[in-house]
Amino acid sequence: MTVLALDIGATKFAAGVVHTGKEVRDVRRVNVPREDVWAACRDLLRAVAGDATITAVGIGSAGPVDVRTGITAPLNIPEWKSGFAIVAAVQELFPAAAIRFAIDGACLALAEHHVGALRGVPNGLALTVSSGIGGGLIADGRVVLGRTGNAGHIGHIVVPGWDVPCLCGGVGCVEAVASGMSSVRWAVAQGWQGSTGIQLAEDAHRGDEIALAALHRAGTALGQAIASAAALLDVDRVVIGGGFAQSGAPLWDPLRAALAEHARLEFLRGISVVLSDITNGATLVGAGVLATGDAGTDDLG
Ligand SMILES: [Zn+2]
């Protein structure tokens, strides 16, 4: 009996074997190619599965998704942008397996709720801030999926003051301002010479003015988005993971300042906002929770 977890990220696929305790082992990763995207994903799954009989697969995917039809349409994977039937494809690969599918944000929330900072927290918000911005919600102790499985899509909350076009077609989404990719793009337009969010954070810590301004901009927009989401959801705690969230004080100080400025109502004051301590792929861990069916009884009802 082998259970697999699959994370369909914007730039990387990751897959591994789910063990008890929600731990995912034997993790392999592959960059998402420009073409033949499914072949890369299939080969990764085959490599992880080996000769084992696969009984279940949990899939967490970058969004948007449609869990009713099993279709994923990640904005950052051009070949799949108009929709790929991921559940049917994985089912064909492992005919005997139960396939469970959710957006990466819901998997993130599941991971934090089962093994991370939202354990024992009935109302929480989990965010990932990396090349894009995603999120998931725990409300009254359950993960919230929404009509099509896209609930918690916090990257497309509109933040005030920056009329930046977003990949989704909208304008002023927090992802368009505050993601690692958006911050790098903005910094480069201001004359910064670098290409990754990690370099941007390193330069900010060295005192580079453009890098500091880019992180200040990102942190402020994130604080605004979190204040709006928290007002809507009345949460106990917000947890933030993802590579760009590791940027430290140059990102977190303006984030906390913007949150304090916008979250003024009594129930919003003093919300705990913490850095995720799930280091090795929260979406994958959450996909594992999904695959083992624990989400079915505890969260999905
Ligand atoms: Zn958007």
**What's the CA-to-centroid distance between 171 and ligand 1, angstroms?**
7
Specify the higher pLDDT residue, 269 or 40. Answer: 40
The string over 113-148, giving b where at least 16 C-beta atoms fall within 10 Å of a residue's C-beta and e elsewhere, is bbbbbbeebebbbbbbbbbbbbbbbbbeebbbbeee
Angle at 214 between CA 212 and CA 219, to 5 degrees: 90
Per DSSP, the three-state class of 158 is strand
Sheet strand arrangement including 272-275: 142-143, 133-139, 124-129, 237-241, 272-275
Angle between helix 104-115 and 282-292 (nearest 10): 80
Distance (angstroms) between ligand 1 centre and the Cα of 145 equals 19
Query: Which residue reads 């959801």 in tokens?
Result: 233
Span from the CA of 97 to the centroid of ligand 1 (angstroms): 34
Looking up tokens 């993971």 gives 241
Q: What is the pLDDT of residue 216?
A: 98
| Cα 22 to ligand 1 centroid, rounded to whole Å | 32
CA of 168 to the centre of ligand 1 (A): 4
Q: Is the pTM of this model over 0.75?
A: yes
Q: Is the pLDDT of residue 298 over 80?
A: no
Q: State the pLDDT at residue 48.
A: 97
User: What percent of the chain lies above the pLDDT cut of 70?
Assistant: 97
Structure tokens at 202: 């390193």
**What is the per-residue pLDDT for 247?**
97
Residue 226 Cα to ligand 1 middle (Å): 16
Q: Tell me the domains of the chain and their CATH numbers.
A: 2-102 (3.30.420.40), 117-275 (3.30.420.40)
- CA–CA separation, 270 and 268 (whole Å): 6
Q: Give the Å distances, CA to CA, from 82 to 77, 132, 135, 149.
A: 9, 18, 22, 17
Taking residues 161-166, report their average pLDDT. 92
pLDDT of 299 above 50: no
Does residue 149 contact residue 67 with C-beta atoms inside 8 Å?
yes
Decide if pLDDT at 21 tops 70. Answer: no
Give the Å distance between the CA of 126 and the centre of ligand 1: 18
Tens of pLDDT along 194-208? Answer: 999 999 999 999 999
Amino acid 294: pLDDT: 64
**Rounded distance from Cα 158 to ligand 1 centre (Å):** 8
Centroid of ligand 1 to alpha carbon of 159 (angstroms) = 11
* 168 vs 158: CA distance, rounded Å: 12
CA of 161 to the centre of ligand 1 (A): 15
CA of 254 to the centre of ligand 1 (A): 22
**Distance in angstroms between the alpha carbons of the first and the last residue of the chain:** 24
Cα 232 to averaged position of ligand 1 atoms, centre (Å): 19
Query: pLDDT tens digit string along 287-296?
Result: 999 998 765 4
pLDDT band at 256 (very low <50, low <70, confident <90, very high): very high
Assess whether pLDDT exceeds 80 at residue 301: no
Cα(293)–Cα(246) distance, rounded to whole angstroms?
A: 31
For residue 129, report the distance from its CA to the centre of ligand 1, in Å.
Answer: 14
Distance (Å) from CA 111 to ligand 1 centroid: 25
Distance (angstroms) between ligand 1 centre and the Cα of 149 equals 17
